[in-house]
Amino acid sequence: MNLETLGVAGAGPMGAGIAQIGLTAGLKVVLFDVNAEALQKSAKEIIARIARMEEKKQMESGYAEQAEKRLILAGGLAAFAPCELVIEAIIERLDIKQKLFADLEAIVAENAVLATNTSSLSVAAIAARCKNKSRICGLHFFNPVPLMKLVEIVVAPATSPDVVTFAEAASKLIGKISVNVKDAPGFLVNLQGRAYAQEALAIVQESVTDPATVDRIMRDAAGFRMGPFELMDLTGIDINYAATSYIYEGYQHDPRLKTTTLHALMSNAGRFGRKTGEGFFDYANGFTFPPSPAAPATPRILHPKILEQGPEWHAIIEATALQPGDDVTLIAPLGEDCATAVHRLGLDPKKTVAIDLTAIDRKHLTVMSALGGGQAATDTAEWLRGAGFTVEVIQDSPGFVLQRMLAMIANLGCELAQIGVATPKDIDLAMKLAQNYPKGPIEFADWLTPAKVFDILQQLQATTGSDRYRPSLWLRRRALLGLPAGTLPASTAA
């Protein structure tokens, strides 16, 4: 079936964006909203945006006028009759969506496809009142629709393979890159995004460090465009908390998806982020992100002993022109906190400093000490800053910050692959397109190596006693066999 006429139910920001990309793809678009005034306003804004694209030479001359002729403002659902595809983008209420789909089914052709843009509700539940559930799927776009390249094609248990094929072709036609996703709470992107926010929240709740330090580490050491707290403040903590709670409930209270009391407190306090002027950061008087501590004016001289030396220490040895001594003992634990490592190795906690070398290639280090070793950690940080490293100091924590964060991101990505939410390739693609991840979750697992991620998680689980850090079976098997994280089972590898 060819797509020539696209129907869009709902003229809010998402519906208007979908209608716009349909028009810029050359389709006839039927747009409907129960609010006639909102419909007219949305139509004017859509054409105005296309006109601006024309002015910028992004569209050929006269395109806005042509698009306006192809935009049909519907007075009722009957206008959707000629549409090969109708996309619903109305309020996130299951009962209202169910009624709309049942009504649409009686209007459109038998082979027309009905899709929902829901970001959270089950596609199967939305289709529950329909007689022909096989032609219903999800087409989950991201805001702003004209700019975001990704669309999730959500496949419910009854969705026909032919409908998936049609949805893939339709997505390509309107300029989107699609990934096929299983119908499950949070689909792919919203589910995978939980690890980034929730582990950051756990770190701050444990008083390991503050939100600004976590954000700096994730931006400077891992290459994320925004830190987790900046991102929560931008999207809205109320929205983030609601989505997190929904996904946690939907996955039967899996500890790996559990949020924190800090998250609930921020939402209950109305500190939603930028839209309220305060969230994890204060935006009332303008916001400037606090920088990492600078190097001391007078270089710190330190003569440390490096324990268990390996090639990852070479950059520090060369940059500091290391002259060994007994001022402090430096260690680089994987997944352990400093207290555990000190106990295991029989070291003096007052003279031992743990360094996270995960981002040594970016000249970024994090240091921490066991109880009583605060001055040694401060001295070590100043010494390393003087040698040109960016150094963050945190309280003792299993897995520092970066190891914990990346291990949890990778582990959740592996779990999504294990339960069939999407393929490893699509999991990585989706997170890079929708959330600007510098690497996909599976790619992060391979960058660290599955064996290291597995070790970090085992140490975190052993130290905290929490199943929050339970390794995915997908990760465990590949770590034990020395295989890349994206290795597919034999039955699907072809």
Q: In angstroms, rounded to a whole number, what is the distance separating the alpha carbons of residues 126 and 14?
A: 18
Which residue in 119, 178, 369, 472 is the catalytic one?
119
Q: How confident is the model at residue 492 (pLDDT cuts 50, 70, 90)?
A: low
| pLDDT given at position 310 | 86
Q: Is 119 a catalytic residue?
A: yes
Across 280-299, average pLDDT: 89
Which residue in 190, 240, 369, 472 is the catalytic one?
190
Q: Is 336 a catalytic residue?
A: no
Q: In angstroms, rounded to a whole number, what is the distance separating the alpha carbons of residues 457 and 408?
A: 8
Mean of all residue pLDDT scores within the chain: 96
Instruction: Please report the DSSP string for 342-400 in residue order.
Output: HHHHT--GGGEEEEE-TTGGGTEEEEEE-TT-HHHHHHHHHHHHHTT-EEEE----TTT
Percent of the chain whose pLDDT exceeds 70: 99
Name the nearest CA neighbour of 228 among 186, 280, 187: 280
- Could you read off the pLDDT of 204-244 as tens digits, one per residue? 999 999 999 999 999 999 999 999 999 999 999 999 999 99
pLDDT at 493 over 80: no
Query: Residue 222 is encoded by which pair of tokens?
Result: 């891992």
Which residue in 152, 230, 382, 415 is the catalytic one?
152
C-beta separation of 451 from 479 below 8 A: yes
pTM for this predicted structure: 0.95
The residue assigned the tokens 């590898």 is 493
Which residue in 84, 88, 117, 140 is the catalytic one?
140
416's CB contacts (< 8 A; 6+ apart) are 188, 191, 192, 422, 427, 441
Tell me the domains of the chain and their CATH numbers: 5-182 (3.40.50.720), 189-276 (1.10.1040.50)
Q: In angstroms, rounded to a whole number, what is the distance separating the alpha carbons of residues 467 and 457?
A: 10
